[in-house]
Structure 1
Amino acid sequence: MNFRQFAIKNVRGNWHQYIAYFLSSVFSVMIFFIYAAFIFHPDVMNGHIYAAKGVRTGMMFCEYIIVIFSFFFILYSMSAFLKSRKKEFGLLSLFGMTKGQMRRMVLYESIATSLLAIGAGIALGALFLKLFLMALSEILALDHPIRFFIPGKALLLTAAGFFVLFLIITLFTLFQVGRSQIIDLLKASKKPKSPPLASMWLVLLSVLCLGAGYYMAYTMTLSNAILYMLPVVGLVVVGTFFLFTQASIIVFRFLQRRKGIYYKQTNLMTIAQLVFKMKDNARILFTVSVMSAVILTASGTFYVFFLASKEQQMDLLPQSISFYEKGLNTHAVLDPDKVRTILKENDVELAYEVKLVGAVAELPVVGRSTDTTTALVVSENDYNDYGQKLHRGRPILAVEPGHAVFVIPYSEVKQPMTEIGKPLPVQVEGGTKELSLTVNSQVSGGAIAYPRSDATELLVVDDAQYQQILQAVPDDKKMVVYGFEMKNWAAQGDTAAKIEALVPEDMKDAFDNRVAMYLATKQSMGLTLFIGLFISVLFFIASGSMIYFKLFTELDEDRDQFRSLNRIGMTLGEIRRTVTMQIAIIFFVPCAVGIVHTMFAMKALGNLLSTSAMQYSLVVVGIYIIMQSLYFFAARRSYLSRIIKSFTS
């Protein structure tokens, strides 16, 4: 057996440690290759695919993320392998293997594993590329699916790039091989561990940091988001670090003092080992919990934006088709009769129709870069009538003479944007004199489409005063807003496009097509969700693999302990129960901490979007728990098989 064969045989012998690292590497290579195949696809590079330029830019950004992630993940994995094999290296040194030969052996092992991972990743990427292109074609709503093609540049970039990456990391880790003395390597797992210590002050700091971070996230709004964002992240990260390095030790020490719990069945063994395991694994568990929070928050955010895009568009543009015109019956933008004709020709039913006549007025505002704003003066009767027809509905207003209600189209803004309860000077465009109106309250969320230049808010007054204001305004100065809400509007893209085609180019700013805007947003968010899903899965596999690696780093020590316990009467069933409990805590505690972090992050997101993000995030959390459970059962089975196997060997 030559030296290369010896190295390959070593890989096979340590396959239980290599498997998680290998599969994670294969997945990274596969995703990188699929994205590269799209980036270098001739139809994409030649601009033959609609919206391909933006997609290509997004995927190139993801490629950089994959490379950076792969570097640190593989570097950590290689370091974990070397630590778990100290005893093996000590024996090889004892038998006469030189440091140079040992490094050459590790180099051969790494090259063999790398070539296998690159080959398997590219093969799986080529296998799933057709499915990827079909899904992408569906999201981009292309008339014809993107043709299957494997670019040579994608193959070369993936193979050469990852081989160089693996090689650089291997050369980094080779410096760790052979640096310790033989006796230290042989006794690496025999060194006694000092009892873990913890500081109550640091535990208190952890509680305060997490509590402050959670409170700031829970109370985050648009007005304080910029101020709160970085402190929230910093406080939660610091609190999580001390939670695992300090608080976990305090918790298990407390359980040791509770004799009713500590001396029950196998709890003595489980808790006693976990005190040391939590100390040894604290940094890994901290990293995994933060990664879990990042994965869940990112995935939940993508999912929330994707599902909530329809609701947001309906709030932004209350009618499917809307436009406004200056002057009564000018129809300079679009004749409403032509809209009705197209709707009838396409057999599209209307849910309701809006025609609102108002006057543009200027009034002072607060908290803005300008001192004044323009609002459309409307009657309370018209506002209440149209407001009740919307999908969310609007509150019924009752306005007294000389008073008004200020309505803004931004449902997420709650703070007053004009002075409340104080008479304000209001100048109506085309009016003869300045009015004085007292704004009683502010309502967030409008009832009609808002003109984007002449008026952005509503000023609701009582019907009598509305008539007086409008009588003083010439017909050519009055503003008319038209709105048509189609039934099943999201499926009426062709009809909406025909109506929009009738609008003159110089009047496009006065016309809003909610259907086209929604379809473009849905396409963009669907694509973001689709691409981000792969990156999230990649990070999920990495977080689980880090725990897996740490478990097998301690395998030899645990195997010796359980073999000794088995000899003095501990049954295999008790060993399985003890190991299962320990692995479950190590797997699911950081998962639970990450989920709690995510819930508060989703609450902050919901505050910013004025929507309930919790219900959407629960779906993502549920999927994450299922995947983490599958990973746990796989790791438990592999770990237990190695432990139990030692009893019969």
Structure 2
Amino acid sequence: MNFRQFAIKNVRGNWHQYVAYFLSSVFSVMIFFIYAAFIFHPDVINGHIYMGKGVRTGMMFCEYIIVIFSFFFILYSMSAFLKSRKKEFGLLSLFGMTRGQMRKMVLYESIATSVLAIGAGIALGALFLKLFLMALSEILDLADPIRFLIPGKALLLTAAGFFVLFLIITLFTLFQVGRSQIIDLLKASKKPKSPPLASIWLVLLSVLCLGVGYYMAYTMTLMNAIVYMLPVVGLVVVGTFFLFTQASIIVFRWLQRRKGIYYKQTNLMTIAQLVFKMKDNARILFTVSVMSAVILTASGTFYVFFLASKEQQMDMLPQSISFYEKGLNTHEVIDPDKVRSILKEDKVELNYEVKLVGAEAKLPASGRSAKTTSALIVSEDDYNKYGQELHRGRPILEVDPGHAVYIIPYKEVTSPLTEIGKPLPVKVEGNSSDLTITVDKQVSGGAIAYPRGTATELLVLDNAQYEELIQAVPDDMKTVVYGFEMKNWTAQGDTAAKIEKLVPEDKQNQFDNRVSLYLATKQSMGLTLFIGLFISVLFFIASGSMIYFKLFTELDEDREQFRSLNRIGMTLGEIRRTVTMQIAIIFFVPCVVGIVHTMFAMKALGNLLSTSAMQYSLVVVGIYIVMQSLYFFAARRSYLNRIIQSFTR
């Protein structure tokens, strides 16, 4: 057996430690190769694919993330392997292997594993590339699917790039091999551990940081988001670090003092070991919890934007087709009869139709740099009538003579945009008479499409005062808003596009097509969700693998302990129960912490979007828990098998 064969046999012998690292590396290579295949696809480079340039830019950004992630993940993995094999290195040194030979062995092992991971990753990437391109074609709504092709540049970049990456990391970690004395390597797992210590002040600091961070996230709004964002992240990260390094020890010490809990069945063994494990693993658990929060928050954000975009656009543009004109019956934008004709021709039914006549007015502004703001004066009846037709009906307004309600379309804005509760001078366009109005309150959410560039808010008057005012405004100075809400509007893209083509180029700013906006947004968000999903899964696998690696670095020590306990009467069932509890705590505690962080992040996101992000984020959290549970059961089975096997030797 030559030296290379010896190294390869070592890989097979330590396969239980290599498997998580190997599979994670394969997945990284596979995703990188799939994205590279799209980036270097001739149809994308030549601009033959709709939105191909934008997608290519997004995937190139993801490629950089994958490379950076892979560097640190593989570096950590290699370090974990070397630590778990200290005893093996000590024995090899004792038998005469030199430091150079030991490094050579590790180099051969790493190259063998790297070549296998690159080969398997590219093979799986090629296998799933066709499915990836088909899904991408569907999201981009392409008439012809993207043709299956494996660009040579993608193949070369993936193979050469990852081989160099693996080699650099291997050379970097080789300096750790053989630096310790033989006696230290052989006794690495038998060194007595010092009792873990914790500071109550640092625990209080953890609670304070998390409490303040959560409160700021819970109360975050569009107005204070820029100020709150970085402090929230900083406070939560600091609080989480001390939660694991300090508070976890305090909790387990408290459990040790509760005799009813501590001396019940195998709790003594479980808690005693976890005190030291939580101390040793605190940094890993902190990292995993932060990664879990990042994974869940990013995935939840993509998912919320993807699903909530429809609701947001229905609030922003209450009617699927809408436009406004200056003057009664001018029809400079489009004749409403032509719209009805197209709808009838395409057999598209309407839920309702809007024709609202208003007058533009200026009144004093509040909380803005400008001294005045513009609003469209409408009647109480018109607002209530069309407001009740919306998917989320508007509250019925009752307005007294001489008073008004100020309507803004921005749900995110809570501060008054005009003076509330005192008489205000209102200048009505086309009406020379002075008007004094008291605005009783401000309400978010309009009932019609807002005339862009003119009056972006509504001023609702009582019917009598509105009629008196509108009669005094010349017909050519009145603003008329038209709206058509189509049934099953999301499927009426062709009809909406046909109507939009009739609008003159110079009048496009007076026309709104919610259907085309929704379809473009859905396509863009679906693409973002699709691309981001792979990155999230990559980070998820990495977070689980880090725990898996940490478990197996302590395998020899745990095996000796459980073998001794088995000899003095601890049954295999009790050992399984103890190991399961320990692994479950190490796997799921950072998962729970990450989920809590995510819930507050989603609350902040919901505040910013004026929507409930919780219901969407719960779907992502549920999927994450299922995936984490599967990872836990796989790690538990592998770990228990290695522990139990030692009893039969």
After TM superposition, is the score higher than 0.5? yes
Query: What per-residue deviation string (whole Å, max 9, x for no partner) do you get for residues 51-81 of structure 1?
Result: 1111111000000000000000000000001
For residues 518 and 82 of structure 1, the distance between their equivalents in structure 2, rounded to whole angstroms, comes to: 53
Query: What per-residue deviation string (whole Å, max 9, x for no partner) do you get for residues 371-424 of structure 1?
Result: 222110001111011100000000111111111111001122222111110212
For residues 618 and 58 of structure 2, the distance between their equivalents in structure 1, rounded to whole angstroms, comes to: 27
3-state SS in 2 of match to 1:47: coil
For residues 469 and 539 of structure 1, the distance between their equivalents in structure 2, rounded to whole angstroms, comes to: 62
Answer yes or no: is 1:102 the counterpart of 2:102: yes
Task: Measure how far apart 1:433 and its partner are.
Answer: 2.9
Tell me the residue number matched to 2:335: 335
3-state SS in 2 of match to 1:459: strand
Tell me the residue number matched to 2:218: 218
Query: What per-residue deviation string (whole Å, max 9, x for no partner) do you get for residues 204-229 of structure 1?
Result: 11111111111111111111111111
Task: Measure how far apart 1:523 and its partner are.
Answer: 0.2
Tell me the residue number matched to 1:604: 604
For residues 530 and 369 of structure 1, the distance between their equivalents in structure 2, rounded to whole angstroms, comes to: 41
For residues 552 and 438 of structure 1, the distance between their equivalents in structure 2, rounded to whole angstroms, comes to: 73
Answer yes or no: is 1:371 the counterpart of 2:371: yes
Tell me the residue number matched to 1:36: 36
Deviates more, 1:401-410 or 1:635-644: 401-410
Residues 583-598 of structure 1 mapped to structure 2, 5 A cutoff: 583-598=583-598
Deviates more, 1:170-179 or 1:360-369: 360-369
For residues 36 and 284 of structure 1, the distance between their equivalents in structure 2, rounded to whole angstroms, comes to: 31
3-state SS in 2 of match to 1:481: strand
Query: What per-residue deviation string (whole Å, max 9, x for no partner) do you get for residues 123-170 of structure 1?
Result: 000000000000000000111111100000000000011011111111
Query: What per-residue deviation string (whole Å, max 9, x for no partner) do you get for residues 560-585 of structure 1?
Result: 00000000000000000000000000
For residues 507 and 572 of structure 1, the distance between their equivalents in structure 2, rounded to whole angstroms, comes to: 80
Q: Which runs of 5+ in 1 are unaligned?
A: none
For residues 325 and 216 of structure 2, the distance between their equivalents in structure 1, rounded to whole angstroms, comes to: 45
Tell me the residue number matched to 1:544: 544
Q: How many residues get paired?
A: 649
Tell me the residue number matched to 2:354: 354
3-state SS in 2 of match to 1:132: helix
Tell me the residue number matched to 1:322: 322
Give the counterpart letter for 2:140 in structure 1.
Answer: L
- For normalisation by structure 1, the TM-score amounts to 0.99
Give the counterpart letter for 2:379 in structure 1.
Answer: S
3-state SS in 2 of match to 1:175: helix
3-state SS in 2 of match to 1:374: strand
Give the counterpart letter for 2:25 in structure 1.
Answer: S
Task: Measure how far apart 1:341 and its partner are.
Answer: 0.4
Tell me the residue number matched to 2:459: 459
For residues 313 and 228 of structure 2, the distance between their equivalents in structure 1, rounded to whole angstroms, comes to: 27
Deviates more, 1:248-257 or 1:426-435: 426-435
Give the counterpart letter for 2:509 in structure 1.
Answer: D
For residues 250 and 3 of structure 1, the distance between their equivalents in structure 2, rounded to whole angstroms, comes to: 50
Residues 115-130 of structure 1 mapped to structure 2, 5 A cutoff: 115-130=115-130
Give the counterpart letter for 2:599 in structure 1.
Answer: M
Residues 184-263 of structure 1 mapped to structure 2, 5 A cutoff: 184-263=184-263
Answer yes or no: is 1:450 the counterpart of 2:453: no
Task: Measure how far apart 1:454 and its partner are.
Answer: 1.2
For residues 411 and 390 of structure 2, the distance between their equivalents in structure 1, rounded to whole angstroms, comes to: 14
For residues 392 and 378 of structure 2, the distance between their equivalents in structure 1, rounded to whole angstroms, comes to: 20
Aligned-residue Cα RMSD (Å) equals 0.7
For residues 551 and 434 of structure 1, the distance between their equivalents in structure 2, rounded to whole angstroms, comes to: 79
- For normalisation by structure 2, the TM-score amounts to 0.99
Task: Measure how far apart 1:369 and its partner are.
Answer: 3.1
Tell me the residue number matched to 2:20: 20
Tell me the residue number matched to 1:478: 478
Give the counterpart letter for 1:89 in structure 2.
Answer: F
Tell me the residue number matched to 2:160: 160
For residues 371 and 13 of structure 2, the distance between their equivalents in structure 1, rounded to whole angstroms, comes to: 75
3-state SS in 1 of match to 2:629: helix
Task: Measure how far apart 1:427 and its partner are.
Answer: 1.1
Answer yes or no: is 1:632 the counterpart of 2:624: no
Give the counterpart letter for 1:542 in structure 2.
Answer: A
3-state SS in 1 of match to 2:352: strand
3-state SS in 1 of match to 2:454: coil
Residues 40-51 of structure 1 mapped to structure 2, 5 A cutoff: 40-51=40-51
Tell me the residue number matched to 2:414: 414
Task: Measure how far apart 1:116 and its partner are.
Answer: 0.4
Tell me the residue number matched to 2:423: 423
Identity percentage of aligned residues: 88
3-state SS in 1 of match to 2:427: strand
Answer yes or no: is 1:182 the counterpart of 2:174: no
3-state SS in 1 of match to 2:622: helix
Answer yes or no: is 1:297 the counterpart of 2:277: no
Give the counterpart letter for 1:297 in structure 2.
Answer: T
Task: Measure how far apart 1:426 and its partner are.
Answer: 1.3
Give the counterpart letter for 2:604 in structure 1.
Answer: A
Query: What per-residue deviation string (whole Å, max 9, x for no partner) do you get for residues 297-325 of structure 1?
Result: 00000001101111011001000100000
For residues 176 and 469 of structure 2, the distance between their equivalents in structure 1, rounded to whole angstroms, comes to: 84
Give the counterpart letter for 2:133 in structure 1.
Answer: L
Tell me the residue number matched to 1:528: 528
Deviates more, 1:489-498 or 1:421-430: 421-430
Task: Measure how far apart 1:472 and its partner are.
Answer: 2.0
Task: Measure how far apart 1:455 and its partner are.
Answer: 1.1
Deviates more, 1:397-406 or 1:481-490: 397-406
Task: Measure how far apart 1:434 and its partner are.
Answer: 3.1
Query: What per-residue deviation string (whole Å, max 9, x for no partner) do you get for residues 81-111 of structure 1?
Result: 1111111111111111111111111111111
Give the counterpart letter for 2:174 in structure 1.
Answer: L
Tell me the residue number matched to 1:574: 574
Query: What per-residue deviation string (whole Å, max 9, x for no partner) do you get for residues 316-336 of structure 1?
Result: 100010000001100000000
Task: Measure how far apart 1:469 and its partner are.
Answer: 1.7
Task: Measure how far apart 1:368 and its partner are.
Answer: 2.2
Query: What per-residue deviation string (whole Å, max 9, x for no partner) do you get for residues 324-355 of structure 1?
Result: 00011000000000000000011100000000
Give the counterpart letter for 1:627 in structure 2.
Answer: M
Give the counterpart letter for 1:310 in structure 2.
Answer: K
Give the counterpart letter for 1:615 in structure 2.
Answer: Q
Tell me the residue number matched to 1:87: 87
Query: What per-residue deviation string (whole Å, max 9, x for no partner) do you get for residues 220-242 of structure 1?
Result: 11111111111111111111001
Query: What per-residue deviation string (whole Å, max 9, x for no partner) do you get for residues 160-209 of structure 1?
Result: 11011111111110111111111111110010000000011111111111
For residues 417 and 297 of structure 1, the distance between their equivalents in structure 2, rounded to whole angstroms, comes to: 33
For residues 166 and 372 of structure 1, the distance between their equivalents in structure 2, rounded to whole angstroms, comes to: 63
Residues 371-390 of structure 1 mapped to structure 2, 5 A cutoff: 371-390=371-390
Task: Measure how far apart 1:586 and its partner are.
Answer: 0.2
Answer yes or no: is 1:642 the counterpart of 2:620: no
Tell me the residue number matched to 1:402: 402
Deviates more, 1:203-212 or 1:121-130: 203-212
Query: What per-residue deviation string (whole Å, max 9, x for no partner) do you get for residues 250-269 of structure 1?
Result: 11001100111111110000
Tell me the residue number matched to 1:56: 56
For residues 368 and 148 of structure 1, the distance between their equivalents in structure 2, rounded to whole angstroms, comes to: 55
Task: Measure how far apart 1:470 and its partner are.
Answer: 1.2
For residues 38 and 433 of structure 2, the distance between their equivalents in structure 1, rounded to whole angstroms, comes to: 64
For residues 98 and 200 of structure 1, the distance between their equivalents in structure 2, rounded to whole angstroms, comes to: 48
For residues 387 and 160 of structure 2, the distance between their equivalents in structure 1, rounded to whole angstroms, comes to: 61
3-state SS in 2 of match to 1:264: coil
3-state SS in 1 of match to 2:188: coil
3-state SS in 2 of match to 1:416: coil
Deviates more, 1:358-367 or 1:8-17: 358-367
3-state SS in 2 of match to 1:588: helix
3-state SS in 2 of match to 1:378: strand
Query: What per-residue deviation string (whole Å, max 9, x for no partner) do you get for residues 446-477 of structure 1?
Result: 10001111110001111111122212211111
Query: What per-residue deviation string (whole Å, max 9, x for no partner) do you get for residues 8-35 of structure 1?
Result: 1111111100000000000000000000
For residues 115 and 368 of structure 1, the distance between their equivalents in structure 2, rounded to whole angstroms, comes to: 62
For residues 549 and 507 of structure 1, the distance between their equivalents in structure 2, rounded to whole angstroms, comes to: 63
3-state SS in 1 of match to 2:482: strand
Tell me the residue number matched to 1:5: 5
Give the counterpart letter for 1:456 in structure 2.
Answer: T
Give the counterpart letter for 1:287 in structure 2.
Answer: T
